[in-house]
Amino acid sequence: MLAVSMALLHHCSTPLARALCTPARDRARACSTVAMAMATAPSPSTPLRKSQPQQQVLLGMSENDLQQLALDLGQQSFRGKQLYHLIYKRKVREIQEFIQLPQAFRKELEEAGWKVGRSPIFQTVTAADGTVKLLLKLEDNRLVETVGIPVDEDKGSARLTACVSSQVGCPLRCSFCATGKGGFARNLRSHEIVEQVMAIEEVFNRRVTNVVFMGMGEPMLNLKAVLEAHRCLNKDIQIGQRMMTISTVGVPNTLKKLASHKLQSTLAVSLHAPNQKLREKIVPSAKSYPLNALMKDCREYYRETNRRVSFEYALLAGINDSVDNAVELAKLLHEWGPGYHVNLIPFNPIEGSEYRRPYKKAVQAFAAALESNKITVSVRQTRGLDANAACGQLRNNFQKSPLVTDAKSLETELPNMDLAVAS
CB burial of residue 341 (10 Å; 0-12, 13-18, 19+): middle
C-alpha span between 218 and 254 (Å, rounded): 12
145 is catalytic: yes
Give counts: helices (H), strands (E), the chain. Answer: 15, 15
Catalytic entry in 174, 351, 391, 411: 391
C-alpha span between 368 and 383 (Å, rounded): 23
Ordered alpha helix ranges (H), 285-406: 291-305, 323-336, 360-372, 393-398
C-alpha span between 19 and 32 (Å, rounded): 14
C-alpha span between 170 and 268 (Å, rounded): 18
Q: Which amino acid is located at 72 in the chain?
A: D
C-alpha span between 313 and 370 (Å, rounded): 12
C-alpha span between 19 and 3 (Å, rounded): 8
Q: Which amino acid is located at 321 in the chain?
A: D
C-alpha span between 303 and 322 (Å, rounded): 31
- Strand 309-315 vs strand 340-346: parallel, antiparallel, or unpaired? parallel
Catalytic entry in 145, 192, 195, 280: 145
C-alpha span between 234 and 324 (Å, rounded): 41
Q: Which amino acid is located at 281 in the chain?
A: K
Least Cα distance to 160 among 149, 169, 170 occurs for 149
CA distances from 219 to 25, 31, 111, 216, 246 (A): 27, 19, 34, 9, 7
Q: Which residues are known catalytic residues?
A: 145, 391
